[in-house]
Chain A
Amino acid sequence: DTGVSQDPRHKITKRGQNVTFRCDPISEHNRLYWYRQTLGQGPEFLTYFQNEAQLEKSRLLSDRFSAERPKGSFSTLEIQRTEQGDSAMYLCASSNNNYGYTFGSGTRLTVV
């Protein structure tokens, strides 16, 4: 059990560029969640998957955001045409059926 891995840890991008983040969950966890955290705030839910099915999307997830979890393993979160307001920490978590939510270290995005 190596925990939840997120890549990259940091990303600096110019406004208007596309970025993609990856999350590798704990292997036996069937649920995977994405959250966004801005400075001084609690994490805000974006979306979650059970296996490969995306079961819920927050209204925070605009059309520029898309998430996938092919084959129910790793997940990617893509942001198209980034804006300065997208600057945040993007956190991934996975869970099993015992309320064992485990978080990764996050990807810090800075849009300049």
Chain B
Amino acid sequence: AQSVTQLGSHVSVSEGALVLLRCNYSSSVPPYLFWYVQYPNQGLQLLLKYTSAATLVKGINGFEAEFKKSETSFHLTKPSAHMSDAAEYFCAVSYRNEKLTFGTGTRLTIIP
């Protein structure tokens, strides 16, 4: 069975500081990994996805993530936080284009 674990349900960073949101996966087969962002009372917007091509994946809004098989990790980073980055972030895993399995989410707060 596939699963993802997001470490830290709440993360606070100062505006302009590095954003690091952690995600570890468990999968018995090569996973496909995703990061989504959710703003209040809205659906999920795809930030980026890893589908077995380059291990460093660049997404929208300056975010990127690196797939590390040895660490079973897919952490999300952004060099400089902006106030508009405040939202809920979800890591998800899929196998063979079937259902997504989500983590419990990390709420990102940006301190002015």
Whether B34 is near chain A, meaning CB under 8 Å from some CB there, is yes
Tell me the residues in window 75-112 of chain B with beta carbons closer than 8 Å to chain A beta carbons: 90, 92, 94, 97-105
> Which size bracket describes the interface of B in this complex?
20 to 34
- B interface residues (Cβ-Cβ under 8 A, vs A): 32, 34, 36, 41-46, 49, 51, 90, 92, 94, 97-105
- A interface residues (Cβ-Cβ under 8 A, vs B): 4, 6, 31, 33, 35, 40-45, 48, 56, 91, 93, 95, 97-99, 101-106, 108
Q: List 23 A-B contacts (CB under 8 A).
A: A31-B97, A33-B99, A35-B100, A40-B105, A41-B105, A42-B103, A43-B90, A43-B100, A43-B102, A44-B102, A45-B99, A45-B100, A45-B101, A48-B98, A48-B99, A56-B98, A91-B44, A98-B51, A99-B97, A102-B46, A103-B45, A104-B43, A106-B43
